[in-house]
Structure 1
Amino acid sequence: MSFSAAIGVISGFNECVTSWQWAKSAISSLHSRWTGSEEQSLQDRVLQLESSLQLLKDTLPAMHDLINKAEWRSHEHGVAKLLPNLKDAVSEAEDLLDEFTWYEKKVQVEGDTSQSPFTEFFDTVVPGSFNKLNGVQIRLNHLSVQLDNIGLRGVTHRFDKLVRPETTSLPNETKIFGRDKELEQILGFLNVPNKISKRKRATISINASTSAPSSLPVLPIVGIGGVGKTTLAQHICINKRVKSHFDLIIWICVSDDFDVKRLTKEVIQSCTGKETRTDNLDSLQNALYNHVNNKRLLIVLDDMWDDALKENGQCWKRFCAPFRSVQEGSAMLVSTRCPKVAMGVRTIEPIILAGLNDVVFWNFFKLCAFGSESSSNDPELEHIGRRILPKLKGSPLAAKTLGRMLSMDLQASHWNFILESELWELRQEETNILPALRLSYMYLPFYLKQCFSFCAVYPKDYKFEKAFLAEIWVAEGFVEHQGGIPIQGIGCQYFEDLVARSFFQKVGGRYVIHDLLHDMAQMVSEHDCFILRNKSDFDKVPQNVRHLHVLPSSDFDYSNLLRICKYTKLRTIICKKNLGKKIGFVMDQWCTKLLCMRVISCASTNELPDNIGNWKHLRYLEISRACPLKRIPSTFCWLYNLQILYAKKCKLEWFPSEFGKLISLQKLESYGLSYYAGGRMTLDSANGQGQAGIRLIKNLNQFRGHLEICNVDMLSKDHAREAELKNKKYIDKLTLNMHSQGRGLKPSSTM
């Protein structure tokens, strides 16, 4: 669970009010255990604990806002030092609140039949958690004061000019690489003559969409940060044919502040060369209308962001209104990272800028690293440079960033160091590639930031499935409830929002993250997410890491995986290493030491350890490969927060009798069995191996919805008795499907 995850925790905490009611009444009902003074002392401590939890609950929203503000200024040393500590303290607070929701669920499940929730609460929680709460609250207050002292409270969500310098129409480079096709596309859009000639007052009209807010056709140039959008637009502006064709060429650096008055003033100043002083929008717009009247105009709006579409697009229309007086043949270019902006302002299909092709990119890279495109450079360095090149994915700004680093030391050892380093690990200036890409991340809503930054726990080129990742985000606590909408559906909408903003790219039926955006994700989550590729990586793991991915390296053995136990704040382990029988021992140790786990995905395991019930926070458990796991231990039923169990390739044969205590379970998939709480459960008695398969549903007596049993004709009467259907009191509908694979379709019976 992450920072805004406390919204979900808080809603759970509100439900926990009943816990205090039963806690107070339970003290009275168990008064025989204590003297009068002890009972009063315990009553006082429960009241203090209730008050402290309420205070922590009230504090968290302000802390989330403080984290968001700190991220906008994390390029400053003081803020960068405090931000990881603030995140860590907030996570601790969330863990404590989440623990109390577990006790609430325990009471809900067992309170009426057992006094164990009460005695455990009094013996363990009241003495221990009270001090923890005070400690976390003090730490949050201390960090908040420190950030206040460096002026963070008044931060507005705007890009610092140091991070995003103002652009002009004049390019820094005299030569543009590999954009001949795009240049010709734009010149064609502008109807620029092939030869420089005297301007003609009448021109062929450019076909524009009837939905355009002005007579100006608008062509967006879209691409990720650093791909060369601004450079392309600059080279259009200095093109001699373009300069000859237009009466006025106006360049406006919009950035993330789409203020109509400011932008109108800047356009007027470009037209007149004089600063205008009035702040009356009507006067400004009329003045601009007159300045551009009957002129052939090219206006370039560089670096536009989402706020250009605020007020349901009315801001954009208001800005465009004065341009209705321009001469036919006028046009507008818009550069943006945001496909949503492009779709909102375009009148024709945008130009999508991808990375440079390999041949052109190599020449550009040589110029950045060696200062020359010639082939007379050091052959050894050129060889290393060619191996570095794939990291940069054709990005001109990435080539400049690494080229600058490489050019500072023309020794093979230095170049090899950069080759072997992750891009996100290399120290970069504010205007280099990863800080530039980070601006896209900063402009995300806070709830999408945590979803995207979490993806750094997956390796590059990982192929994501929307529904799968949405379930993980829900389990981590990143997804907020919205009325009666299914929360997994909200998670899928989060995913679609990130796709629309180009953070994911669709490849086939799945999605990938661009390598440079993945590097950026690793940079913004460097204290939270880590990928273990080999033994040496263990020395680099951040002490407060929350999410860990173990790749299937031959380097690892079980002793390496036991080292993970020291990272006690872990919430996620994705372990692709198969250790055979040893993994059971490793998981046993994890269950003892790693008590904040929310999500675990392991390749295989022979058994689930008996102490798995320690994972009070666990929401998601996946066993991804076929393995000998057959039984679920009875302690598994203590996982009151568990939402999803995936063991699709495991032939489970037995669930414990108290399986119905898993009141949060939404989905269970095992070989031959699919279970969806409140919806449908399907058992394939062929895939489930007859009796072993039918035995699976024996203890699933809390299921509500539609039960379907397939291949019933393969079952004997003894098999049917094993299912104990008479105990499934809450089933709405029962379907017995007589279909057998390979033997045609037989009638089904529905009850």
Structure 2
Amino acid sequence: MEALTSAVLGDLVSRAISIMVEKCREQTTTETIAEEDLQRLHQLLLRISAVVEEAEWRCITNRGMIRQVSMMIKQMFRGYYLLDSFNFRKKKTYDEEVGHSLFAQSKFNPAKRFRRLSSNTQVESIVIGRNNGKELKQVILVLESMVADMKEFAIFLMSYPRMYQQPYGSYLFVDKCMFGRQMEREQAINFLLQDEPNGNLGVLPIIGPGLIGKSTFVEQVCHDERVRNYFSLILFYSKTDLKEESVTTFIDNCVIKHQNIASDGKRLLVVIELLGDVDEGEWKRLLHTSERYMTHGSKIIITC
């Protein structure tokens, strides 16, 4: 009986040791795989965020590309949320382990050692669970598929122009800076920089009630470096109406706001600010006469 009892106990002890060793081995393997997945996720998020940031600075007009960027942003936020969740749980596990080690009575106490082992195993199962690992691998697969198809997307992205944006700090010291209206400002600048078909004279009317910011808007457009480099002269005309104005008197009554000597050609930008209503007959007469004297590429901005 003594021999049989010792054999049974020895077999139970050996099985318990083998089970514990196998669990520790599986746990170590799972932690290693999770660490590799987290590093892979971090690298993919860096690549995706770089493309998304570049896309936000481009004036994209293709709706398919806009939807693709939206999907990238959605998956990027999902990946960052998952990465932060894992990092937070790791930090929480580390803090709990440090707290247990500080208040441990004895490292060689079998009961204490068993309690610490069971508590650590439980925490690690929360950190690296099956659902979390499955979600982590799913996010990595989605991001990898996006990165694999990113070469064609980047080629199309580089064909779109970059949007001109002022630094936020400039609003603190630039006088008469208009907040908002960035889209309308870019549309006005694009109109001024594009050539009209058949050599026609381009006219941009800005109409609205008084004191709503028409003059400030035009001033911001004319102050843009692209506009100043494109036109050789920027003239400003301000009167109540256009009656009894010929081309000669009209030019004489204009004030030079900007002169660019280095500009090629003699493109003019004339800003007309009228305080009253526009007489249609006088406006057509002045416009018809100006088309013969103003060079190709010249533009007119009229506010009333």
How does the TM-score come out when normalised to structure 2? 0.47
Higher helix share: 2
